[in-house]
Amino acid sequence: MAHREAVAAGIVRYMRERAYEGDEQVAARRWHELEEEHYLAYLGGALSFEGQRRARAAAFAREFGEDLDDVDASAWFAEYFERYRDSWALHDDVIPAFEALAAGLPGVRFGIITNGELEFQTAKVVRLALHGRVDHVIASGELGVTKPDRAIFNAAVDRFRSTGAVSGAAYVGDRLRTDAIGAARAGLIGVWVNRTGATPDADAAAEARETGVLEVQGLDELAPLLVPRLAG
């Protein structure tokens, strides 16, 4: 799912509605930075889920001269979130990747592991017409543990084992530490989707090498990479 693109489209639309003036591309990058900063604080236990949302909203609005208290920040984020949700879309390579993996790995099953609430994530799957392809959605809100904790990846594998044999598992995500390294440390094949060609910091790069993380720029690379590793 094109989360980052939906985030950018949503915040630009909301900027216009609130008459914030400035370079929209710069602002979208700044909003992404705030998302990373405050979401990591949430994962580390420094902020609640709602608290990181309020902190992001307040920090962004402050840069445009608007001060928000907690109530206003929650309302601000809720309004932005509607614009983000309206911008949900799939990358063009998602469905072909599903089909290529299904062709190369007969009987393969797909799931989603997400740091979020199950009801919301399930609604997203339905909205994007993926419910016929996805067997399980494993959400941190349901389990009380978030990526990159290995417990959520282990819980996902156990969920699949409860409905059939599991001979191997891979996890594909666009966050190196949270997704790919977390999965690899839990014993899965961790795949980092680096669509933008980002260069990780030295520590993350070393950890990725240590854990055997695989890197792709697009999902069209998944089947050639994973079929030989998971077949049989």
Convert the pLDDT of each residue in 113-158 to its tens digit.
998 889 989 999 999 999 999 999 999 989 989 999 999 999 999 9
Of 111 and 232, the one with more pLDDT: 111
Q: What is the pLDDT of residue 45?
A: 87
Does 102 share its domain with 43?
no
Going by the DSSP 8-state scheme, the letter that residue 217 receives in this structure is: S
Query: Is residue 1 scored above 70 in pLDDT?
Result: no
Q: What is the pLDDT of residue 3?
A: 82
Q: Considering 86, 117, 146, which residue would you say is the last residue of a domain?
A: 86
Does 139 share its domain with 196?
yes
Query: Is residue 227 scored above 80 in pLDDT?
Result: yes
The answer to whether the CB of 159 falls within 8 A of the CB of 142 is: no
Element (H, E) at 120: helix 118-127
Does 79 share its domain with 171?
no
Query: Is residue 38 scored above 70 in pLDDT?
Result: yes
Structurally, the chain folds into a number of domains equal to: 2
Least confident of 68-72, 141-145, 161-165: 141-145
Does 78 share its domain with 99?
no
Stated pTM of the model: 0.84
Does 13 share its domain with 125?
no
CATH number at residue 109: 3.40.50.1000
Does 144 share its domain with 124?
yes
Q: What is the pLDDT of residue 36?
A: 87
Range of the domain at 62: 3-86
Does 219 share its domain with 119?
yes
Give the HSE-up count for residue 216: Cα atoms under 13 Å, Cβ half-sphere.
20
Sheet holding 170-173, edge to edge: 170-173, 189-193, 214-216
Does 103 share its domain with 185?
yes
What is the residue-averaged pLDDT of the chain? 95
Q: What is the pLDDT of residue 232?
A: 66
